[in-house]
Amino acid sequence: MKKSKKLFALITVLCITLSLPVSMGSYAAGSNVNINNNAESVINKTKFVIVDTFGSDNRGWIGDFADYPVDYDESQYQLQFSRESLPIEIDPEGNGLFLSGVNRSDDLFMFIKKKVDTSYGLKPNTNYLVNFDIEIATNAPQGAFGIGGAPGESNYVKAGATTEEPAIIIQDGFYRMNIDKGNQSISGEEAIVLGNLAKLSTIFDFSYELKNFNNDNFDDAFIVKTDENGELWLLVGNDSGYEGLTSIYIPKVKFILTEA
């Protein structure tokens, strides 16, 4: 985390202790609420809540992959991004974004990204405290063995926000990220680890389970600063240390941005 994030968290604790006001913004009555095709944007002076579900389209989210060789064999990596029906055990009538790939390079990052443009109303050059609330359907059982690592415990879910569009670049014959998302279990400046794909159920099977990922109880705050237009990019991804096939569904993505 950047020093500014830790400083903000410390100032918040001091303000609460001394009963001083903290610029966190509350959910005000009369806030402007817009609901459009399963996407909700709640806006007031200091808080922005962006919620996307995928009943009819991708809601502006784009999928991509990183940390694999430029001369990769498509049949070996099986990289796939699409909007698909959810597994029947999750929701027989629902849809979600689908990410799938085989980690043949000791590392594979599968991710989705979305631009928050000026239509969302964020202030230019302003710091926002970001809270993540992501739903992912995973079929990785607890304690399973795998090459390089476990299919659950060695698959790390990350989320972040940045003014620079998250994209792949070529470095030393590999596709790498142009932002600092960290590596596998390690967080980066633009993305943090929220957990892993191991199911909560102790039953050893490969059925899908819906798992929530958030940073509500993290010690360090995640803060992002918008650009001069009040725009930024949102990111959700899976950083794999498991050298096998990983397939996940994302039925819901929620970001809460509070002016800091």
Give the chain's end-to-end CA distance (angstroms, integer).
16
Any residues with CB less than 8 A from the CB of 21 and at least 6 apart, and which? Answer: 15
Name the pTM for this structure.
0.84
Quickly list DSSP for 101-144. Answer: EE--SS-EEEEEEEEE-GGG-PPTT-EEEEEEEEEEEE-B-TT-
- Three-class secondary structure of residue 31 per DSSP: coil
Q: Are 236 and 159 in contact (CB under 8 A)?
A: yes
Length of the chain: 260
**Per residue of the chain (260 residues), what is the pLDDT tens digit?**
444 444 444 444 333 333 333 333 222 222 333 333 444 455 545 899 999 999 999 999 999 999 999 999 999 999 999 999 999 999 999 999 999 999 998 899 999 999 999 999 999 999 999 999 999 999 999 999 888 899 999 999 999 999 999 999 999 999 999 999 999 999 999 999 999 999 999 999 999 999 999 999 999 999 999 999 999 999 999 999 999 999 999 999 999 999 98
